[in-house]
A and B are shown apart, each in its own frame.
Chain A
């Protein structure tokens, strides 16, 4: 076992930065939170897997199907105009939300995974050759490992992995040593899904850019919890998923700098991504449509937009402060239980608390908590190399959203005590 017993840094123990979020009012926005599970009140602590959806998102999507459904960019008829307008409005919301310079830099995808595959298969295939290197970190989700492995295998390139520390942090000096003239792209998580670590992305980008290496950031676990400004980070690509930020499943975003996207070959061919087609030659459409072949998930895009509007209404600073407070409270409460060990004790964390218990497998923890209505994730979190790094097969992970309460963390603590009783 690695030395991961140290307590998290005191920064987590501080008082919230701002107050003013009425969590009980917020909870009323989420219909599912009033249901029961096994006769118990639902305590949903699996938000890193997917967040619940507010009424406004559900209504926006059903409203589209009930009153606006038609295909976009197609006809002159009224409904097509409405749908196109709603779709474009959502793109503008996304652009503003992550502070992209231009809405052409916002490409809709099926999710973070597709965003990474898109970059690996277009930018990657065009720029990575035999003997080149792709640099990732040891805390990546499988979705930021496998697309690069596929690329490296095809091209005869090498996947380099920057190590992480026992607390689950990325030592930047070690990372920098792996950057060299053969490195063609860096791909790194903004926030680790298994450990909750917030990586110093701006510093990573600066290091890579000094060597003219572009950086892709997997922001799936960051955008729901932090203010993200892609221009301030200066990253080249940033990708995230709607369903972890109160929006629907099956839709996501790839941000890319316009100059890079312009130069990249298309990902998939089909309708909407072309300007003109003959059997001799096809001219591709302008950005962002060049990367959006086929009829898109219009309702999904509208739901994503509604999710962003919901977050804007609550205020990202308020969300951040509330979740910071929750994570600090959870860390203190859960780590005080005898036999429980926190995995991932970085100074800067958000969203998730992974833990293991002496002599109890996480799967058994998950079942016993579930019987009490408490939903947590158990397993390897699609990050098997992270589990291997810490010498454990799996963890239990509680992850938080804006609607979670300290009472729910108390329920989790009581649930863990129940696990101890069963296995006493």
Chain B
């Protein structure tokens, strides 16, 4: 079961059990909802933006281990980053989980999600929170869907 351990790495399981920033921050000026209708994953990402910079971020909702861990680690890594930096990071992360030419070294802790590329049906789980973040950054108020 080496494959499964690649997907369900300890760090991922730990984040799914005790997600970080799993709350609505005190001050929120942007938010977006993300929904995967196929499996029912449903998250809201909350942002406290200072100009183009992410001053604070939190998320709430429910989903599988991959989607929850991804949301948790995303909030840790983008806090304090600019909108552009967050978008660039998503691009690299997307390449990592789809197995298209990504350098794990660029992604720091997020490299634990490299195993997702072996499980095409789970890519949407790993990227749901990121898509939702993009929608919140763009100021879209509609819910985003993976479908």
Give the interface of A toward B (CB within 8 A). Answer: 38, 359-364, 367-368, 371, 378-380, 384, 387, 393-394, 418, 422-423
Contact between A361 and B64, CB atoms less than 8 A apart: yes
Number of B residues with CB within 8 Å of any CB on chain A = 22
A387 to B39, CA, bound (A): 12
Residues from chain A with Cβ under 8 Å of B119 in the complex? 367
Shortest Cβ gap from A422 to chain B (Å): 5
Instruction: Judge whether B121 is part of the interface by a CB distance below 8 angstroms.
Output: yes
Instruction: Check B13–A379 contact: CB distance below 8 A.
Output: no
What is the CB-to-nearest-CB distance from A386 to chain B, in angstroms, rounded to a whole number? 12
| Interface contact B39-A394, CB-CB below 8 Å | yes
Q: Are B121 and A380 in contact (CB under 8 A)?
A: no
Which B residues lie at the A interface, using CB under 8 A?
1, 3-4, 7-8, 13, 17, 38-42, 62-66, 68, 119, 121-122, 125
Q: Is the CB of A422 within 8 A of B8?
A: yes
For the complex, give the distance between the alpha carbons of A378 and B40 in Å: 10
Interfacial chain B residues near A394, Cβ < 8 Å: 39-40
- Distance in angstroms from B72 CB to nearest chain A CB is 14
Contact indicator B40/A387 (Cβ below 8 Å): yes
B8 and A363 within 8 A (CB): no
Given A363-B41, A371-B4, A423:B62 Cβ within 8 A: no
Besides A363-B63, A363-B122, 17 more A-B contacts (Cβ < 8 Å) are A38-B3, A362-B64, A363-B39, A363-B41, A363-B66, A364-B65, A367-B7, A367-B122, A368-B8, A380-B40, A384-B40, A393-B40, A393-B41, A393-B63, A418-B1, A422-B8, A423-B13
Q: Which of B3, B40, B42, B66 has the most CB of A within 10 A?
A: B40
Instruction: Find chain A residues with CB under 8 A from B42 CB.
Output: 393
Residues of B contacting A367 in the complex (Cβ-Cβ under 8 angstroms): 4, 7, 119, 121-122
Q: CB-CB < 8 A to A418: which residues of B?
A: 1
| Chain B contacts for A423, CB-based, 8 A | 8, 13, 65
* A379 and B1 contact, Cβ closer than 8 Å, known pairs A361-B64, A422-B8, A423-B65: no
Bound Cα distance A379, B40 (Å): 6
Known A-B contacts A371-B1, A394-B39; the reply to A363 vs B64 at CB < 8 A is yes
